[in-house]
Amino acid sequence: MRRLWPWSDDDEVANELAGEAAAAAAAAEDVVPIVLDPNAAAFFDVDNTLIRGASIYHFARGLAARKLFTFRDLGMFALGQVAFRLRGAENAEHISTAREAALAFVAGRRVEELVSLCEEIYDDKMADRIWHGTRALALKHLDAGQQVWLVTATPVELARIISHRLGLTGALGTVAETEDGVYTGRLVGHLLHGPAKAGAVRALARNEGLDLSRCAAYSDSFNDLPMLTTVGHPHAVNPDGDLRDHAREHDWPIHDFRTGRKVTMVALPAAAGTGALVGGVAAGVALRRHHRGR
C-alpha cells in the first residue's frame, strides 16, 4: 500500500493555511442556509469521483480550443499525467513543478477573465462528463437537508462553477492570491490536496457548526485518506487499487460507476496533486520550456 505524504513542519503549516483559505473563500459565497439537518454535510472529491477524468485536463482542452493553450502543450500535459498514473505514486517535487507552472500561467490575469473561461468551458467540455451515480449520491444528501461541498485541488473558481451548475452548496478549492482582482502568481498556502483537504473540511466544519462524526466524504483516491478519515462516514467512489483495499479492510461503502468504460476512465489523467491552480494545465508549457532550455 502506498505511503501518505511525508510532510515537513513547513508543509503542515502551509496545508493548514490552504485549508483555512479554502474555508474562508467558501464563507464569502452566498450559500442558502439549510435548516433541516444543519449539523451534517457531505464532501465530494471532483476528479474521477464526480467527473470522468481530470477537470483541469478538460479545462486545458477548452483553453486549447480557444487558442489560449496549444494542443501540443495539451498533449505533453496528458502524457505527463498518464505517466504519473502508471507510476502509482506522487512526490513533492512533481507537485512543486506543476504548481510553479500553473502560477506562471495565471499571474497577471484578472479573476473575472478566469471565471468567464471556467463557465464557458464547463458547459462545453465538462457538463456531459459528470458521473450520474455520484451526482445521485450528492442529491440524496441534499434531499436529506444536508449541505454538499466539493473539495478539490482544482482552482476554487472552477470548483465553484461545477458546484453551482449541479445545485450543490459550495466548493472548497485551491485559493490563489489576488490583488485588486488580479492574480499575483502566488498560492495561499499549498494546493488543496491530501492533508490540506482535511484541513479545509475541519475549518469549514468549525465555521458551519458541523458535527464531523455525522458527515460523509467521497473520493476515488488513496491520497484523500486524510479527508476520508476526518468524517464519520467515508465512501470510496471509482476507487484506485489502494483505496479499494483500504475500504474493504475497514468496511467502507464502495461505489463504482465505471462499468464498461472502466479501463478507459482509469487511463485518463487523474489530476490528483497536479490538479493545481488552473492546474497542471500549464505543466506542459513548463516541460516544453525546460526541454528548450536544455
- Residues serving a catalytic function are 45, 47
Phi and psi (nearest 5°) for 70? -80, 155
> What is the phi-psi region of residue 180: left when phi exceeds 0, alpha when psi lies from -120 to 50, beta otherwise?
left
CB 267 within 8 A of CB 249: no
Residue 92 · residue 102 · CB < 8 Å:
no
> Given the DSSP bridges, would you call strands 233-237 and 254-255 parallel, antiparallel or unpaired?
parallel
Q: Is 179 exposed, middle or buried (0-12, 13-18, 19+ CB in 10 A)?
A: exposed
* Cβ atoms of 137 and 255 closer than 8 Å: yes
